[in-house]
A and B are shown apart, each in its own frame.
Chain A
Amino acid sequence: MKKILCVLAVLLAFGPFVLSASGQEESGLIKVGIVNLPPEESGYRQANVEAMNSVFSEANGYDAKQTNTGENSEQIAAAKGYIRDGVDYLLISAANASGWDDTLKSAKDAGIKVILFDRAIDTATSNYQAALLSDMAYEGNTAVEWVLGLDLDEINLILIRGQMGSAAEIGRSAAVLKAEKDGKLNIVADGTGGDSWSLEEARKVVEAAIAAGKDFNVIYAENDGMAQGAVQALEAAGISHGKNGKVKVIGFDFNRFALRNVQAGYWDADMQCNPRQAAEISRWIQSGNIPSGIVYQEELLFTTDTITDADIENWGINADPGKGVVTR
């Protein structure tokens, strides 16, 4: 009885793969398997998944399937399924950076080109073709360069970090810490929004700095939500910010509400973290000229003076509150 149950369970688990593996014939389309995280993970992921769906469509000459899960084991199972399906390209954004060696090797043996996007995997570079990533250190350096170029007599900065130890937090914080070490700026308060990059926590960090009588003129928040929380604290305390204000505010991620705030001069700048790797990867595949190893995406920084409506439309993620609408 137990054995029968086991067989049934295995059939149930692998049935869908078997079904999807049959039913497919030569159609002249490029077969792509995409292993991704679920869209509800973040606004970033939502834009990422959407771009994957729209770029790797039948109209563009692709026969693509996407699996969205935050579980590494499920991701690996899905990747193995795609390898069995005999896809031409396997695109992976891994939930966890380790545990992928065998899967990547079997893809290589099957002659499938693996392209990693957004998230790197801890493995030898020979195990995959290319990785298209965001360079968090570049993001941090670009943002800090903007801060240093602000023409302030003395830079007293509040650093609001994201989830401690995450790649984004490490890269974005490193630039600030280095600038402080080099004597280019002072960090007057160093806080974190915690594991959820929390707006409320960021607000508390700034409120604590205000209560302690700290004098500061720059807020460097490592995502848009935390920048929003920080500015709420400034508003409640009656401290001016943004264009012509005392405190300069920079956020990260290019949420459209944040870009509108920058455009309105309510904040000063926002640094991109580009979720739309799909177009670049598609260009590689179409041209047949796929680079090898890690490739970093080009990312942008917009300020109140440089931002345009087209930028917000093209580069922003998440809902657009509309021109001139400030999200407090």
Chain B
Amino acid sequence: MLKMKSNLSHLFLPLSVMALLIIINLIKGADYFTISLVNGALYGNIPNILFGASELVILSIGMTLVTAASQGQDISIGVSATITSAVFVWFVLHAGEVTLLTIVAGFLLSCVAGLATGAFNGILVSIFKVQPMVASLILFTGGRSIAFMIDGKLSPILANDISNKIGTVIPGVPIQTPIILTVIFIAIVAIVLKTTNLRLYVESVGINRNAARLNGINPKKIIFLTFLIMGVCTAVAGFIAVNKAGRHDSVNLLKLIMMDAILAVAIGGNSLIGGKFSVTGSIIGAYTIEMLNRTLLRLEIEPAMIKVFKAVFIIILMIIASPVVRAYAKKTLDGIGNRSFSLSPLRVSGAESAVEKED
């Protein structure tokens, strides 16, 4: 009971933000949840959000783990996804006839590329102790040129039937393929977190590196591992993005997505200086950002002002999420219920409060 309560409580922030957005959307028009069937696939605002957010969701899962273990952020994720998808496109276009096999092989190859970019960042961060943001700045700066070279200095076209189905719908399946792929990915992550000690290790390293080392966990290995996982996340996100777009645009593919991914982690109630983490929160955070972007469009805010509105909304969010407001909310909540429970996995007042276990 206590555990369930605490799970729900740390999702309080992302869920309340989402609820707020839903209310705004419903005020604008009561048909917000309407879903219809178009060409055999579900169509409506909700499917659109799920479709549009797929890459962001996948990347924010990786970002959550990197943040938790390394106490910093990887800003090269969009660039990394551009490189992995360039490898994918290169393979598919050079493998002769496009079959399901070449697509899968290309995807696996792009995962290898993702592991390579992840390892590059991971080595810099874990072994050379470079700040994650500085380490990933290298790839962020030079990566698109690498992708451009892999592309043969052009934007190659991926106009084949299978890619088209991956980017839109498979006939007979009522849900768009990117949504299905995202769900599969989330399921795999959930299984890994449930069946392995990954969460425990990552959190220990993130909370106190030295304490983790004294307990027999190698922090270098764990941090390196989170960057490898991030690499796989970028490969999957790049795969979805490039199949959606139908061509590889090394200049603009997933540009600036790291901002939204970091924001998703923060909205998800995670601390950006590492420690305990909630992947569920980040996933909800990612969908919330997508919903926010679309809400601004639905409110027909003029193009020149749209960024300002987004910024204002985010400032409000961050204030609500700040330790000061949270501590106040916790106090109030404690006053209401007679049992006290931790409001969030966020380290409100330093490492001590986060170390206490709640099982």
Binding site for B on A (CB under 8 A): 38-43, 46, 161, 164, 189-192, 195-200, 203-205, 207-208, 211-212, 225, 228, 232, 235-238, 255, 257, 318-319, 321, 325-328
Contacts and interface: CB of A to CB of B under 8 A. Distances in A.
Nearest to B303: A192
Given A191-B297, A198-B255, A208-B294, A327 B157 contact: yes
B157 A319 contact: yes
A204 B293 contact: yes
B255 A196 contact: yes
For the complex of A and B, the 5 pairs showing the least CB-CB separation, nearest first, are: A208-B297, A192-B303, A321-B157, A40-B148, A238-B38
Nearest to A208: B297
Interface string B237-258: 0000000111101111001100
Contact of A328 (B38, B145, B167): B167
A196 B247 contact: no
Contacts of B247: 228, 257, 319, 327
Interface stretch (B8-16, B39-47, B57-65, B220-228): B39-47
A192 B51 CA distance: 20
Given A190-B302, A237-B38, A211 B48 contact: yes
Contact of A42 (B156, B168, B251): B251
B303 A190 contact: yes
A194 to B, nearest CB: 8
A228 B167 CA distance: 13
- Looking at chain B's contact residues, is the secondary structure mostly helix, strand, loop, or mixed? mixed
Given A192-B303, A199-B252, A327-B246, A319 B297 contact: no
A228 B297 contact: no
A48 to B, nearest CB: 12
B303 A161 contact: yes
Contacts of A40: 144-145, 148, 250-251
B303 A164 contact: yes
A302 B85 CA distance: 32
Contacts of A204: 48, 52, 293-294, 297
B104 interface: no
Nearest to A320: B157
B245 A228 contact: yes
A236 B244 CA distance: 12
Contacts of B306: 192
Contacts of A325: 157, 159
Contacts of B7: none
B155 A318 contact: yes
A205 B153 CA distance: 30
B304 interface: yes
B32 to A, nearest CB: 8
Given A199-B245, A204-B52, A328 B164 contact: yes
B213 interface: no
6 contacts: A161-B303, A192-B306, A204-B52, A225-B249, A228-B247, A255-B155
Given A40-B145, A161-B303, A204-B294, 18 more contacts: A39-B153, A40-B148, A40-B251, A46-B154, A190-B302, A196-B251, A199-B252, A205-B297, A207-B48, A211-B45, A232-B168, A236-B48, A319-B154, A319-B156, A326-B159, A327-B246, A328-B164, A328-B167
Nearest to B299: A208
A38 B256 CA distance: 20
Given A40-B251, A161-B303, A204-B293, A321 B159 contact: yes
B29 interface: yes
Contact of A236 (B43, B155, B250, B255): B43
Nearest to B37: A238
A225 B155 CA distance: 11
B298 interface: yes
Contacts of B246: 228, 327-328
Contacts of A200: 52, 244
B295 to A, nearest CB: 9
A326 B306 CA distance: 33
Nearest to B176: A236
Contacts of A228: 245-247
